[in-house]
Chain A
Amino acid sequence: MTHTEQVIEVSGLRRRYGPSGEAGYEAVRGIDLNVGRGELFALLGTNGAGKTSTVELLEGLEKPTAGEIRVLGHDPYRERSRVRPRTGTMLQEGGFPSELTVAETARMWAGLTSRARPTDEVLELVGLSHRRDVRVKLLSGGERRRLDLGLAVMGRPEVLFLDEPTTGMDAEGRADTWKLVRELKEQGTTVLLTTHYLEEAERLADQLAIMHKGRIVAAGTPAEVVANQPARIRFTLPAHVAPARLPLTLPVAVEGRRAEVRTQHLQQSLTILLGWASDEGVELADLDARSASLEEAFLSLARQGDELRFEGGGANGDAADNDGMAWAAGPQDGVRA
């Protein structure tokens, strides 16, 4: 299937908060992206990279400081009434009156939505039928996200914006959500989403872009983005082996006794390393070799621009499943990758 029609077109997009000059802050610094009909586009990035700021502009909630946005051929901010009936939106943070029940909230939203699905069908779709008479304030975080998702898809939108749809959901909720998103995509819905779950993005996205400090630092299919990244081998050198004894043909970085090889040719590099270790009778402790993943690509791209501080994460890079992968960017300006 080829996608020729561009459903979302963005060029030179900028968003600035506060006054011009030092006092203000530019969250989005010149972004271009295109999403074809029926595609699932994942926007990834560290916290504070500008994902939500970008998505809110695409949703038409705010006017861009500069740049051009077309959603289904229209400006989503100025031509709100033409775009809204064809889009569905799930904000990063919900927003439904806490004293209404689930069913009342759905009924209200149905009254605001063209060609709305019946509320029972929507609640069934997101697994909230048994909670229909419960007030929103008594729902769990995950259930609130389910309700939010249900309302976003109520009007069978052509374009669906999902800002971190699975954050706060348990494993089952996440699985259900992705199943629903996949079904909608199969029915032809164009989806633009942001997520912290890189594995899911890697599996489901047709296209993705990694944002860092307001810019897109990598874009393409998951395979393309990953392909540009090196595989890596890690190991610990025994105390009596000096790093200088390592084979010169290997691009090794050593810190203390921890050594790391970054390579485009994993098999070849690994052969060299293991051959050397065998010849020299050296035992490589904690040996770990892995081909590039989106996770690795993400970390490496984020590292390129500036120094990053990992807040409370594990040290072994197995962060793909961490719920709130928390990153904080340094204060200096990013460098375009």
Chain B
Amino acid sequence: MRHIISILIENESGALSRVAGLFSARGYNIESLTVAPTEDPSLSRMTILTWGSDEVLEQITKQLNKLVDVVKVVDLSEAAHVERELMLIKVRATGKDREEMKRMADIFRGRIIDVTESTYVIELTGASSKLDSFIAALDAGLILETVRTGVCGIGRGDRILKV
């Protein structure tokens, strides 16, 4: 099962390596990981996309909670939540492809944020599956470079992760 783990962690040097080290030492998967300070600069919020059985997920949350710097851990995917990922993709945009690329970006509600004579950089936000679909819809030969932020997510409504 795919899970999105949200972690509030003390914003101290080495905090990231404690979490990453835990995952590698115990053989858990990290599909993506994003981290940045929250509105309270003493705290960072980390989002980890991982895969595992219920037993493995139980261990992951327990082990994360055991880390002294970790303040709170929530499995976002346990209940209603929204998730987003941002992708920047650089594509070849020459000749007839130039118009086609513009049209594809529009269809996926992407924005072209950098233009040269031969390339576009398209910004696309959405669920990870939407970003995957966009990549699949393009001619692979025209993709020059992609960069993705990894998933971040937040609970819906009254589900709030705060100290």
Is this pair of chains taken from one and the same complex? no
User: Interface on A for B, CB 8 Å cutoff?
Assistant: none
